[in-house]
Amino acid sequence: MRWWMILLIVLIVIVLAVWVITANSTFLQRVFIRALCAGNAGVKPKDYDAVLSKIDTLATDASYESAFDNGVLDVYAAKGDAPLPLIVYAHGGYYVGDDKADFGYYCQSLAARGYVVANINYQLAPEGRYPTQMLQVNEAIRFLTAHAAEYRIDTTKIFIGGDSAGGHLSSQMGLYYTNPVFQARIGGTPAITKEQLRGVILHCGYYNIDTLRATGFPMIADSVWMMTGEKHYEGTEAAKSMNTVAWITPDYPPVFIDCGDKDSFLSQAQEMIAALAKQGVDVTSYLPKTTTFPLIHEFQVRLDLPEAVEWLEQLVGFLGEKSKNLIFD
């Protein structure tokens, strides 16, 4: 057999193998997304030394005793002895990549304003499919409230927040603690009451699975495939549950929601705001327009930008109002 025929056969085999992999599994998509998320760390704020002087690091990579993988968290708290409101923060990354470490600067900056902030990891997709991550947030909250004295937590004042996929996850936790029908679909036992949940913080997330493909966000449909196990996920039971806007009731907690005008998820934020308003839910929105730096996805963690600093001030105002907590300068 001639050498070029052998080479042709090898190439055909490789092409067929790649086609089989991409058509029937999420292997390549998972590799690409995790590579895309690598090094997605936030930017250190200009006053970082001052931030560090105001906080204590109470835990690093502490297990929150999850039944699933990657159940660890970091805890930062403003200095002092008094119990403080708790913010549980879930990172983004398509549910497929990223790590809590990439959002450390942001969580520390929030803690410095007079809060306890738990920065959590969770099992990534596709190894952990929906609703694994929701159950893990509930586990983390149960662990934190059980260790409230150790971490100086006021368990009557709890917030849940996140960015991108973490924003979606946080929006779902708002449902989990306020909508019994939704909670029954997910399973488990809520770790807190709806009265303890003072608000949810939604940074540049997505909330309507039915219109998600239309945003054009790169590989977002692949991430939902990895979460649901279904390439054509629309109409599946998992996708129905993931559709936050469909489950909101008047009992949904107060919301702080934000998104930049150059973010593909801006339409998702607008849909969420409309769904909340329809149910009479207390909503504080921050949808800034670009002036100098393009306000793209996750501009919020660029704490060296004036726009991100202003956004942080807006958020702190919301937290102070909903927790009635003294905001530290």
Lowest mean pLDDT among 112-121, 280-289, 304-313: 304-313
Q: Which of left, alpha, beta for 32 (phi over 0: left; psi -120 to 50: alpha)?
A: alpha
Quick: pLDDT tens for 181-190: 999 999 999 9
Q: Which residue has the tokens 């489950």?
A: 247
d(CA 177, CA 281): 15
Quick: pLDDT tens for 228-279: 999 999 999 999 999 999 999 999 999 999 999 999 999 999 999 999 999 9
pLDDT at residue 27 in the model: 87
How does the average pLDDT of the chain come out, rounded? Answer: 92
pLDDT at residue 36 in the model: 86
In words, the CATH class of domain 41-323 is alpha beta
Is residue 64's pLDDT more than 80? yes
Coil, helix or strand at residue 4: helix
Q: Per-residue confidence at 301, pLDDT binned at 50, 70, 90?
A: confident
d(CA 209, CA 67): 27
Q: Virtual CA dihedral for 231, 274, 282, 141, nearest 10 degrees?
A: 0
- Backbone φ, ψ for residue 327 (5° rounding): -85, 120
Answer with the residue of higher pLDDT: 269 or 24: 269
Which H, E and C letters describe 91-155, residue by residue?
CCCCCCCCCHHHHHHHHHHHHCCCCEEEEECCCCCCCCCCCHHHHHHHHHHHHHHHCHHHHCEEE
Rounded average pLDDT over 211-232: 96
pLDDT at residue 26 in the model: 86
Rounded average pLDDT over 5-16: 63
Q: Which pairing describes strands 72-78 and 153-163: parallel, antiparallel, or unpaired?
A: unpaired
